[in-house]
Amino acid sequence: MTLIKSISGIRGTIGGATGDNLTPIDAVKFASAYGAFIKKRNPEAKKIKVVLGRDARISGKMISNLVANTLVGLGIDVVDLGLSTTPTVEVAVPLEKAEGGIILTASHNPKQWNALKLLNEKGEFLNGADGEEILKLAESEDFSFAEVDDLGSYRKNKKYLKKHIKEVLKLDLVDVKAIKKAKFKVVVDGVNSTGGVFIPALLKELGVKCVELYCEPNGEFPHNPEPLKEHLTDISKLVVKKKADLGIVVDPDVDRLALISEDGSMFGEEYTLVACADYVLGRLGGGNTVSNLSSSRALRDVTEKHGGTYTASAVGEVNVVQMMKDTDTVIGGEGNGGIIYPDSHYGRDSLVGVALFLSHLAHKKMSCKELRDSYPSYFMSKNKIQLTPQIDVDNILETMADKYKAEDVNTIDGVKIDFADEWVHLRKSNTEPIIRIYTEATSQEKADSLAERVIEEIKEIIK
């Protein structure tokens, strides 16, 4: 059982000992720290409002009640969206003119996990400095609660399913007319969480025939909720059986989007962003893009094809968002199927991704598989090397950067070495003595071979 405290929130397994797991006491303590932080940021505000939402995890209602009542006890007004998605809460915060937001979800982690993800007044994830301040507040318990006449209020708002969809449909590049004309048939795997409600509702508004698979939001995940190929055999078979145009898969909090082609093959999480970017850049006549250092080179290729500039950020959504703002990016995201479209909001949003992708497919008038085959083919290998605690990981990374200094080397997040037709990214873990090794090349064999070579070079360094 585990409890992980980081600058992006608190995450852990339900039950067990306080401080070692995500117990009710830990949830209250961290919600108190966040509430105290929000109050400190808004000293002149007569009333402070926080938006709350959760995915369909079994523990969600219990954690939500604890967090909501803690905030009320701090004198904060709570707007509870109930069963929701991460991007829906992000959209709701500015629409509600709230000072912050909390999403209760452990994303792609199994059902025994839950987490508090924290937002600022823009509906964006907190930066590192803000996260550190909340961790210090939680540790010191430097927060005081409201007296009885100053308690916050609590109200439910279940209108944001429709509001979020409305915000998506009004985006200029979402071509509702073209999508309806295409008469798509789509299979949706909602992993028995809120995507099983929100994605079919969006598809209905787009005139898409929807075949639902695991769309009951009961929190009983029917397979590992991370949308990877090995977990998606059921939907792959059903897409073929139902003669659907494609399959749509989201994780429990609906910020990662994976697609299945009509023949049951994976479109590829990395290529969700590539396809959406291709559409947006094509319609705009160019523009800049951003993804993180561990994402596919295919986005760079597509961006340059449209005359734009691609930039890589450090890993982490908050880093991607900041780089997008710095480079005036029209679309960006992460290679795990996370689409960030600034015309909507600065957060990964599968509803936006679905609408943009279907618009693209409708305009292309080709099959999902044909669209996938039109993009450069790259293959990834993801490995790690376990080290002993005594080993200086930073020294290893510095040595590797120096060894390949004649190549294109980026050190903003570990070490990424770009070769002519392949790359390797080395990142150290913040919690254990591990170096994660990501490689990409024009074939799986080449990607695996590059990873094996780098692992051997690291072993030579630590001899």
CB contact set of 244 (below 8 Å; sequence gap of 6+): 185, 186, 187, 211, 238, 262
What is the CB neighbour count within 10 angstroms for residue 60?
A: 23
* Alpha helices (H) along 183-316: 195-205, 233-241, 269-284, 298-305
User: Locate tokens 């170096």: which residue?
Assistant: 435
Classify 255 as helix, strand or coil: coil
**8-state DSSP, 115:** E
Asked if 107 is an active-site residue, the reply is: yes
| 316 vs 334: CA distance, rounded Å | 8
Sheet with 379-386: list strands edge to edge.
379-386, 434-441, 423-428, 415-418, 408-410
Task: Give me 37's structure tokens.
Answer: 């932080």
Distance (Å, rounded) from C-alpha 243 to C-alpha 263? Answer: 9
Of 107, 296, 350, 381, which residue is the catalytic one? Answer: 107
Kind plus residue range of the DSSP H or E element containing 318: helix 317-326
Residue 250 has a CB neighbour count (10 Å cut-off) of 28
Report the alpha-carbon distance of residue 95 to residue 300 in Å, rounded: 34
| Catalytic (active-site) positions | 107
